[in-house]
Amino acid sequence: MAKKTYRQAINEALRQEMARDADVVIIGEDVAGGQGGSAGVLDAYGGVMGVTKGLVGMFGPERVIDTPISESAIIGMAVGAANTGLRPVAELMFVDFLGVCFDQLFNQAAKVRYMFGGKAKTPMVMRSMIGAGLCAAAQHSQTLHPIFTHVPGLKVVMPSGAYDAKGLLIEAIRDDDPVIFLEHKALYEQIEEVPDEPYMIPFGEANIILDGGDVTVVALSNMVHVALAAARSVAKDGVRAEVIDPRTTSPLDEDTILESVAKTGRLVIVDESPPRCSLAADIAALAVTKAFRDLKAPVEMITAPHTPVPFAPSLERLYIPGADAVTQAVRRVLQS
Amino acid sequence: MTAIHPIVLPKWGLSMEEGTIIAWHAEEGGFISKGADLVDIETPKITNTLEAPLSGVLRRRIAEIGGTYPCGSLIAVLADAGVSDAEINTYISARQASAGITDASEEASDADPQTLDLGGHTLRYLVRGEGEATVLLLHGFGGDLGNWMFVQPKLAEHVRTIALDLPGHGGSDKDLSGIASLSDLADLVLRAMDGMGLANAHVVGHSMGGLIAALMAERQPQRILSLTLVSPAGFGSPVSTSFLDAFVLARKRSEVALAAAQLFSDPTLVSRDMIDALLRYKRLDGAAEALSTLAELLKNTPTAQGLAAIADFSRPVTLVWGAADSIVPLSPAQSLPVIREVIVLDSAAHMAHLEAADAVAAAIQRNIRSAS
Amino acid sequence: MQLSRDDLKEAYRRMRTIRAFEERVKIAFESGQIPGFVHLYVGQEAAAVGVCLHLSDADAIGSTHRGHGHCIAKGCDIAGMMLEIFGRQGGLCGGKGGSMHIADLAKGMLGANAIVGGNPPLVIGAALTAKTKRTGAVAVSFLGDGASNQGTTFEAMNMAVVLKLPVVFVIENNGYGEGTGVSYAVGAHDIAARAAAFGMPAHKVDGTDLFAVHEAAGDAVRAAREGRGPSTLELHCPRFHGHFLGDPQAYRSAEELQTVRQHDPLSLFRIKVTESRLLDSHQLDAIDAEIEAMIDRAAAAAASAPFPSPSDLIKDVYVSY
C-alpha cells in the first residue's frame, strides 16, 4: 500500500489487468505515441496526460495500439473487438470528441446486446477525460456524463479519487457491458492510499464520504472535492453535511441518496455540467418523486451555467461550481 | 486529576497521517467526563469522534475548526481548574517547541510492515519493540495485524513483538492454494517463524488465530514458549456460522457494518474507518475466495480441536474471553490442567484485544512472565 | 479457385434461398404480416454468396439494413430469421431486432446494421480480435455505395491499412443510396479508386456473376488470412426492388427497371452451369422445390408464433446492472 496519484492508480489498474488477461488491449491516439516519428521512439506520450505511460514497453505495440486520429474507428473497433472476444480499453482523448464517434457508442455499443436478443456482449471500456479547469475552452472542457447516462446499455463511471479510480477501472475492465470511464483532468495529481493489489469496487454503490445529519450533498468526480470544501466550511457553524459520491451515474445508487434525504430532509446537488437534463436534474427529480414527503426545503442544484465552457481564466472560474456557491446553497436549504 | 493532560490528534489506523477538525463538542472552560464526545475529526475518507480520555476541564482548544493537523499534534489541553493559565501556556509552548523533534523520533520507531516470501505465499508482518523473547500475534478470521494496534505497542515496551497477517488476510497473499486445513495454516506459520529467524516464540492468537496457535503447539511444542488465546476457536464452542456467512457475503458498507457490529459489546466502536478498512480488504482480488474457504474450514472444525491439540502441552496457557462474545461464546469446557488461567472480561465481546486492550496486554505479559 | 459440383450446388442453394426468402418476405409484408419496413436483397445474391463461400463460422461479417442475403449466405437459421422479421418469440434476436438487426454471433454474423456506414469500424474490430489472438480468421464488411460516402468507412479503411488488419471491404454498388444515384452522390464515381487510395488492393467486379465474385473474393480473403492486410471489392449488382419495400422508385426509369432483371444472378448462374454441363436443370429444379418447401414452413411457423412477452421489454439491456 502506498500513496499514489489518480494517474498512477489508473495506470496500475491497466497494467495489472493487462498482465492478468491477454485479451485486454488499449486502443487510442498516442496511447504510446511516437509511431512514424523521426526519432524512432515508442512511448513518446503514454497518453496525452501520461496515463498509459510505460505500458507499451511492458505489453508491446500489439496490445497498446496507437491509432490514427479516427475516433469513430477507434471506438467502433473496440466495440467489434469486444463482440468477438477481446476486452478493449479504448481511449477517447477528450470527451468532447464524442461528437465524431457518437454513433459507434450509442447506436452500436449500447444497443448490440438488446438488439440481438441477449446473444452478444460488449465487454469494452471507453476511457475519456472530462472537466473544466485547465483553460482548455469549449471543445476540451466538457463533462458530458448526462449524455452517456441517458443511453440505456451504457454504464457510466466517474471516479473522484485515486482509490476509487483503480477499483472502478478494474471492475469496468472485467465487466461484460460497455463502460464509459470518465477521468477528470483536474484530478490526475490527486493522491490517496491505493492498495498495490488489484481490487474491484462494484458499480451502483455510492460512497458516503462524510457522515452528517443536517443536509445531504451529492456530488460527482471533481465536484466531490468542492462539496467537501463546502462541508468543512459549514462545519465551522456546527452544520453536519452528509457528502455522497454516487461514483457511477449508470447504474445510480438511488437508495443511498434517498436514505440520506430521509434522514436530513435537505438536498444539495453539485454537478459540473449545465443544468438542463443533467445529473443534478435527474437526482432532484429522484428526490421529489420518491422522497417528497421527506423534504423540508426546496432541492438546490449547483451546476455550471447553460453556456459552453469559456476560455478566459476569470470566466472559467465563474463557470465551474465553487465551494462558496455550495456553501450558500447549504445555508439556504437550512433556513427553509 | 492534578496534572495537565494533552489531547493529541489520534492516528486511526496505519495509513492515517493527518486529520481535519470538524466540530468541537465541548466549550473551553467546561468540564468534560471521560468517554464523552470531545471533537469530530475528518480524515480524507472518514470522520470520527474523539472521546475524552479522562475527566477534566477543557482548558484550551488549540486546533481550529476547519484546520488540518498531523497525527500526534496537540489539539487541546485538559487539566484541573486549579492549574493556572500560566502553567497551561508554558506547557503548550514547551510542547509545541519540541513537537518537531518528538514527531521525528516517533516516526523512526513506527516501522513499516515487512514481507516474507515462503515460496508461494508472501506474508506481511510488523515488528515492534526489542528483546530476547518474541511475542507472535495471530489475528482471527477476516482480521489483520492491525487488530493488535492497541495491544502491540503496549507489549513492545517490554519485548519484541511480531504481528503477522495470516494467508488470505491484510497484506499477505490472498491465494490459499495448498492450504486444505487449519493445520496447514499452523504449519505455514511455523515455516514463517523459520523465515523470520524465530527459534521459538510466545504465541498470542485470537479466534481462528487462537486455534492455529494451539495447532502450532501440538506440532512443534518445543518452539512455543507460551500460549495466550483470545476467544479461540476450537475450545468448546463452534464459531457462529451466521457470523461467518454474514461476513463472507457482506458487500455493501451497511452489510459489513452489521456483521462487524456482532464482534463488539459496544457497537459504537465500529467506526467508519474500521468498516472502510474491511470493505477495502474484501474488495481485494482473492479476498472473498480466501474468506469463503476459511469459513468452510472453520465450520468443519471439531468444536474441541484446540483443546485436544494442547492436551499434552507443558507450558503456560492463558485464555482470555469477552463475557459478551457471541461469535465464539465462552464455553465451560476449559478445565484442562494445562490452562493456567481463564480471564473473563465483562467489558468485551469477541474483540477483547480492541475493546479491553489494557487487560489483554496485561494478561499476555503475566502469561509470558509465568513461562520464564 | 475451382468450384466442385458440390460447391456449385451449395452456391446455388444459398442464392436460391435468398431469393425465395425475399420473395416470401415481400408477400408477407404486403399482406401486413411484417411490422416496420424491409429492404430486399433481390438481384444481389451473387455478391453475398460469392464472398461467404470462402468463410467459415469463425470468420466475421458485418452487414447493412439490406442484410437478409448476408445472413443467409453466412449460414443463419432460416426459420429463426423469418421469426425475427415477423417480430416473434424464437426469432434470432427474440423479436427485438427485426429485419435491420438480425445477428447470429455464433455464425460469425455480427449483425445487420441500420446505420449506413455503421459496420466498418465494428468489422475492423473483429479483424483486430483475429489478429491479436492469431486465430487466422478474417472479417468482411458488406457495404453499399451509400456507405462509401461515410466518414466511418474511410476511417475504418485507413485504420485497417495502418494496423494491417485481416479485413475485406465488399462494397455492393447497386446504383442508389436510397433515391439518389451513384452518378450524383459518389464523387469521381469510382469507389474502388477511393479504397485504393488508402493503400490497399481494390477491384471492380461484376456482382451479378457468382464466378467473378467468388474468384475476386478468394484472392482478397486469402490475402487477409495470410497477413497481407485489407482489400476492397466494388461489386456492381443492381437491386431489383426499391430502397425499401413499397418504394415507388420514381427515380428509376421504366427502361432501367426492365433491363435490371436481365442481369439476374440466378439465371446467369443457371445458364453457365447447365451450358457447361456442370449441373443439369433437374438438379437445380430439385433444389428450388426443396427450398420453396423450407421457406413455406418457415413463413407458416413465423405467422403463428407468439409475440415476445411483456417481460422481454426490459431484458438484455445489460449483462448485469
Whether the per-residue pLDDT at B239 is higher than 90: the answer is yes
The domain containing residue A259 runs over which residues? Answer: 207-335
Other C-beta atoms lying within 10 Å of the C-beta of residue A97: 20
Tally of domains within chain A: 2
Total length of chain C:
321
| Spatial CB neighbours of A153, under 8 Å, sequence gap ≥ 6 | A109, A110, A111, A112, A113, A114, A177, A178, C317, C318
Report yes or no on A71 lying in a domain. yes
Cα atoms found within 13 Å of the Cα of residue A229, Cβ hemisphere only: 13
Average pLDDT for A64-72:
97
Domain termination residue (choose one: A134, A164, A194) = A194
Per-residue cell: A314: 476569470
Report yes or no on C321 lying in a domain. no
Q: Judge whether C34 and C299 are in contact, CB under 8 Å.
A: no
Other C-beta atoms lying within 10 Å of the C-beta of residue C35: 14
Q: Do B253 and A192 make contact, defined as CB atoms within 8 angstroms?
A: no
Whether the per-residue pLDDT at B337 is higher than 80: the answer is no
Whether the per-residue pLDDT at B101 is higher than 50: the answer is no
Minimal CA separation from B147 to chain A, in Å: 17
The domain containing residue C88 runs over which residues? Answer: 5-298
Q: Judge whether B167 and B123 are in contact, CB under 8 Å.
A: yes
pLDDT tens digits along B159-200: 999 999 999 999 999 999 989 999 999 999 999 999 999 999
Which CATH number characterizes residue C204's domain? Answer: 3.40.50.970
Taking the C-alpha atoms of residue C159 and residue C165, their distance in angstroms, rounded to an integer, is: 8
Average pLDDT for A113-121:
96
Report yes or no on A331 lying in a domain. yes
Report yes or no on A22 lying in a domain. yes
Report yes or no on C320 lying in a domain. no
Domain termination residue (choose one: A143, A167, A194) = A194
Report yes or no on C154 lying in a domain. yes
In this predicted structure, what is the pLDDT of residue A204?
97
Report yes or no on A201 lying in a domain. no
Taking the C-alpha atoms of residue B78 and residue B30, their distance in angstroms, rounded to an integer, is: 10
Instruction: Give me the total of CB pairs closer than 8 Å, taking one residue from chain A and one from chain C.
Output: 167
Per-residue cell: B49: 469522534
Q: Give the 3-state DSSP-derived string for chain A, with helices as H, strands as E and coil as C.
A: CEEEEHHHHHHHHHHHHHHHCCCEEEEECCCCCCCCCCCCCCCCCCCCCCCCCCHHHHHCCCCEEECCCCHHHHHHHHHHHHHCCCEEEEEEEEHHHHHHCHHHHHHHHCCHHHHCCCCCCCCCEEEEEECCCCCCCCCCCCCCHHHHHCCCCCEEECCCCHHHHHHHHHHHHHCCCCEEEEEEHHHCCCEEEECCCCECCCCCCCEEEECCCCEEEEECCCHHHHHHHHHHHHHCCCCCEEEEECCEEECCCHHHHHHHHHHHCCEEEEECCCCCCCHHHHHHHHHHHHCHHHCCCCCEEEECCCCCCCCCHHHHHHHCCCHHHHHHHHHHHHHC
Mean pLDDT of chain B: 88
Taking the C-alpha atoms of residue B286 and residue B291, their distance in angstroms, rounded to an integer, is: 9
Report yes or no on A260 lying in a domain. yes
| Same-domain status, A269 and A292 | yes
| Same-domain status, A313 and A181 | no
| Same-domain status, A147 and A273 | no
Q: How confident is the model at residue B102 (pLDDT cuts 50, 70, 90)?
A: very low
| Same-domain status, A44 and A162 | yes
Average pLDDT for B120-145:
94
Q: Do A235 and B23 make contact, defined as CB atoms within 8 angstroms?
A: yes
In this predicted structure, what is the pLDDT of residue C310?
96
Instruction: Report chain B residues touching chain A, CB-CB < 8 A.
Output: 15, 20, 22-23, 40, 42, 44-45, 47, 65-66, 171, 174, 251-253, 272, 280, 283-285
Query: A139 touching C, CB under 8 A?
Result: no
Whether the per-residue pLDDT at B1 is higher than 50: the answer is no
In this predicted structure, what is the pLDDT of residue A140?
96
Is A184 known to be catalytic? Answer: no
C111 to chain A: which residues are within 8 Å by CB? Answer: 112, 115-116, 120
| Same-domain status, A129 and A221 | no
* Main-chain phi, psi angles of C250, to 5 degrees: -65, -20
Taking the C-alpha atoms of residue A105 and residue A111, their distance in angstroms, rounded to an integer, is: 9
pLDDT tens digits along A251-295: 999 999 999 999 999 999 999 999 999 999 999 999 999 999 999
* Main-chain phi, psi angles of C302, to 5 degrees: -65, -40
Whether the per-residue pLDDT at B98 is higher than 70: the answer is no
Indicate the residue of B66, B284, B285 with minimum beta-carbon distance to A236: B66
Q: Judge whether A72 and C152 are in contact, CB under 8 Å.
A: yes
| Same-domain status, A163 and A239 | no
Which structural domains are found in chain B, ordered by start? Answer: 5-109 (2.40.50.100), 114-371 (3.40.50.1820)
Beta bridge partners of B134: B160
In this predicted structure, what is the pLDDT of residue C290?
97
In this predicted structure, what is the pLDDT of residue B82?
84
User: Treating both helix axes as pointing N-terminal to C-terminal, what angle do A71-83 and C151-162 enclose, rounded to 10 degrees?
Assistant: 70
Report yes or no on A322 lying in a domain. yes
Going by their DSSP bridges, the two strands A2-5 and B31-32 should be labelled as unpaired
- Cell 479457385 belongs to C1
Map residue C48 onto helix, strand or coil.
helix
Q: How confident is the model at residue B80 (pLDDT cuts 50, 70, 90)?
A: confident
Taking the C-alpha atoms of residue A285 and residue A246, their distance in angstroms, rounded to an integer, is: 16
In this predicted structure, what is the pLDDT of residue B40?
84
Task: Establish whether chain C is in contact with chain B, requiring a minimum of 3 CB pairs below 8 angstroms.
Answer: no
Taking the C-alpha atoms of residue B263 and residue B269, their distance in angstroms, rounded to an integer, is: 10
Taking the C-alpha atoms of residue C139 and residue C118, their distance in angstroms, rounded to an integer, is: 15
Q: How confident is the model at residue A247 (pLDDT cuts 50, 70, 90)?
A: very high
Query: C67 touching A, CB under 8 A?
Result: no
Minimal CA separation from A208 to chain B, in Å: 9
Per-residue cell: B174: 490472498
* Main-chain phi, psi angles of A242, to 5 degrees: -95, 115
Average pLDDT for B25-50:
79
B251 to chain A: which residues are within 8 Å by CB? Answer: 202
Domain termination residue (choose one: A168, A194, A220) = A194
Report yes or no on A101 lying in a domain. yes
Pick the more confident residue, B80 or A271. A271
Taking the C-alpha atoms of residue A172 and residue A191, their distance in angstroms, rounded to an integer, is: 21
Q: Is B122 exposed, middle or buried (0-12, 13-18, 19+ CB in 10 A)?
A: middle
| Same-domain status, A186 and A45 | yes
Q: How confident is the model at residue B47 (pLDDT cuts 50, 70, 90)?
A: low
Tally of domains within chain C: 1
Compute CA A167 distance to the chain's CA centroid, rounded to the nearest angstrom.
Answer: 13
| Same-domain status, A307 and A161 | no
The residue type of C271 is: I
Report yes or no on A202 lying in a domain. no
In this predicted structure, what is the pLDDT of residue C300?
97
Per-residue cell: C103: 445477428
Residues of chain C with pLDDT under 50: none
| Same-domain status, A123 and A170 | yes
Report yes or no on C306 lying in a domain. no
* Lowest mean pLDDT, pick from B4-18, B129-143, B315-329, C290-304: B4-18
| Same-domain status, A20 and A120 | yes
Which CATH number characterizes residue A264's domain? Answer: 3.40.50.920
| Same-domain status, A257 and A184 | no
Which CATH number characterizes residue A23's domain? Answer: 3.40.50.970
Average pLDDT for B202-227:
97
| Spatial CB neighbours of C313, under 8 Å, sequence gap ≥ 6 | none
Termini Cα distance of chain B = 37
Taking the C-alpha atoms of residue C58 and residue C93, their distance in angstroms, rounded to an integer, is: 20
| Same-domain status, A17 and A142 | yes
Whether the per-residue pLDDT at B274 is higher than 90: the answer is no
Pick the more confident residue, B30 or C164. C164
